[in-house]
Chains A and B, each alone.
Chain A
Amino acid sequence: MTLLILAASIAPCRAAAPAKPQPPPLPAEHLTIATVGPKSPHWVYVVDYAYNNEIDSRVWLFDGDTHRRIGQIDTGFIPGINLSPDGKTTAVATTYFARGGHGTRTDVVEFNDNNTLGKTGEIVIPPKHAQTLAMLFTIGYSSDGKFVYVPYLTPATSFGVLDPAQKKVLGEIDTAGCTLVYPWGPNRVSSICESGRLLTVTLNARGKETGRTTSEPFFNVDADPVFAQAVPLPDGYAYLSFLGQVHEIDFTQPKPAPRTPWSLVSGAEKGTWRPGGVQVGAVQRSLRKLFVPMHKGGDGSHKDSGTEIWVFDLKSHQRTARWPIDTRASGGAVAVQVSQDQSPLLFVATDKSHLLILDARTGKLQHDEKNLGQTPQLLLNP
């Protein structure tokens, strides 16, 4: 109270002007913790590997309607990140060194509550989680949320089976050189092989292997390899190839069953227009549309960012739209994701660290968020 009186008496003098009544003093403030707010279908989790400071990667939760950062999840060094099937948890497989940038390596799977963005628990795993490009397949859940799968790379390949409820490692499954985890149903995990095949392992309720099958090769590794970053479908996964073939695999069958491949490009376009980037496709399930960042380039351009987003009808396999990106203003597309609600938004992360938000039906640019992270390359939407 004394302070306030003192302040009032040191008010600067003004000659000849009529005295304006001074506004009442500001009340004392209270420091609180912001809440996440009600879950929205227009949320997007933006994974930032922070290449220049790789031990310091993080995920931004961004609101596609208010265009505001809701908060951050820290994710360590070259993480695998995914959402639980109910959307309530973000699971992160990552590495920490005892002295920051060096020292004993510890790998963990950390669980974050998406309602608070607070860490709720961890499982220490063998120090061999696969450290690679930002992908949807470097950690995964079973469809019922009972198992978490983490691919290991030493460089030998295998994957860990974890119990997220009990917070423990149930076991490890050798994958014969095949890599990553493509989960399906409550107890099946597939991995993709250099031979062009899919290995599929079935587990029992305790996470132990009960059997495995290997598919026939469904693509040619030398002539037209597929991106390991598959695109989730309602009934399986689609693997896009460097030259623009779409290999849809039906996972609802007893064994993963490839459908007849179809092409993103016409005969004239093939070899010139190519899919590319990091997260190379997203499917809007009700509209049955596939969104792909496309660029013009040759061999070796499979990671080039997209200058256009091409939209395809999953039923007819026809291209229904081409949406150019203002790459000079925003950069090229490295990742795409789409919301699954009635007013779907298309999210595009660029190589200039922008996040573009488009109307997924018309392609109209609603918002260009500059500088969302350092190297945003993977987008997750519950």
Chain B
Amino acid sequence: MKNLDRLVENSARSLAKRTSRRSLLASLGQILTGAALLPLLPIDRTARAQEPARPSAAEQKCEYWKYCAIDGFLCACCGGTSTSCPPGTQSSPITWIGTCHNPADGRDYIVSYNDCCGKVSCGDCFCDRNEGEKPMYRLSRNNDVNWCMANSESNYHCSVSVILGVAEK
């Protein structure tokens, strides 16, 4: 999971450095395939058993930069990490999206806030931040609804925050 993160981050970083997405699209002059946009779109990271979670101290705090629009319990305090659901839970296939500023590199990142589902409330590290968050009529940016709603086990346990890619202006 950590290596995959680094891969996506490096790709996004190098793409952003070398050429703007705009000029890339213009110069291609042909129909784009999904592969060209790999750095932006997430690889499906669910359903693979992982090694035991080792959350950093930073990602167990509400002020962590990735949590800028999170609402719920931090999975990093519940047996998971900011990118892994705790053992025995299932990730939500539907999510809300945020755009958070990383002070370490000065970039804005698009982040996916999946919920982890199928167990009762974790009850630890509750965090409710709302940068760019919108009410539920703007569902893709709303963190109030139970994003476990479409799971076969739809109880809410905790929330993660997964980088999708660099946000373009």
A positions within 8 Å CB-CB of B: 51-55, 77-78, 95, 97, 100-103, 105, 128, 130-133, 153-155, 178-180, 192-194, 221, 225-228, 299-303
Contact = CB atoms under 8 A, between A and B. Distances in A.
Contact of A226 (B68, B121, B135, B139): B135
Given A133-B136, A192-B137, 4 more contacts: A52-B123, A53-B121, A221-B137, A300-B132
B168 to A, nearest CB: 17
B156 A179 contact: no
Nearest to B126: A51
A78 B138 contact: no
Q: Is the interface of B mostly helix, strand, loop or mixed?
A: loop
Contact of A303 (B128, B136, B138): B128
Nearest to B132: A300
Nearest to A229: B135
Interface of B: 68-69, 94, 118-121, 123, 126, 128-139, 144-146, 149-150, 153-156
A270 B15 CA distance: 39
8 contacts: A52-B126, A55-B121, A78-B156, A102-B118, A180-B136, A226-B135, A300-B130, A301-B130
Contacts of A193: 137
Contacts of A132: 136, 144-146
Contacts of A54: 120-121, 155-156
Contact of B120 (A95, A101, A194, A227): A101
Nearest to B131: A300
Contact of B137 (A52, A103, A179): A179
Contact of B149 (A52, A155, A303): A155
B105 to A, nearest CB: 21
Nearest to A105: B154
Contacts of B121: 51-55
B137 A102 contact: no
B68 A194 contact: no
B123 A133 contact: no
B126 A133 contact: no
Nearest to B121: A54
Contact of A155 (B118, B133, B139, B154): B139
A228 B137 contact: yes
Given A102-B155, A105-B154, A132-B145, A303 B137 contact: no
Nearest to A95: B154
Contact of A225 (B134, B145, B146, B155): B134
A299 B119 contact: no
A201 to B, nearest CB: 16
Contact of B130 (A95, A101, A303): A303
A130 B135 CA distance: 14
Contacts of B137: 178-180, 192-194, 221, 228
Contacts of A101: 119-120, 155
A221 B135 CA distance: 9
Given A77-B155, A155-B149, A228 B135 contact: yes
Closest 4 CB pairs of A and B: A300-B131, A131-B146, A101-B120, A133-B144
Contacts of A52: 121, 123, 126
A288 to B, nearest CB: 27
Contacts of A133: 136, 144
A331 B28 CA distance: 57
A300 B130 CA distance: 5
A102 B136 contact: no
Contacts of B123: 52-53
Given A51-B126, A302-B130, A153 B120 contact: no
B149 A154 contact: yes
A97 B132 contact: no
Contact of A227 (B68, B132, B135, B149): B135
Given A101-B119, A192-B137, A300-B133, A55 B149 contact: no
B120 A299 contact: no
B39 to A, nearest CB: 26
A185 to B, nearest CB: 22
Contacts of B146: 78, 131-132
B34 to A, nearest CB: 23
A203 B149 CA distance: 28
B155 A131 contact: no
Contact of A130 (B126, B131, B145, B154): B145
B6 to A, nearest CB: 28
Contacts of A55: 120-121, 155
B155 A97 contact: yes
Contacts of A194: 137-139
Contacts of A100: 120
A133 B133 CA distance: 14
Nearest to B117: A102
A154 B144 contact: no
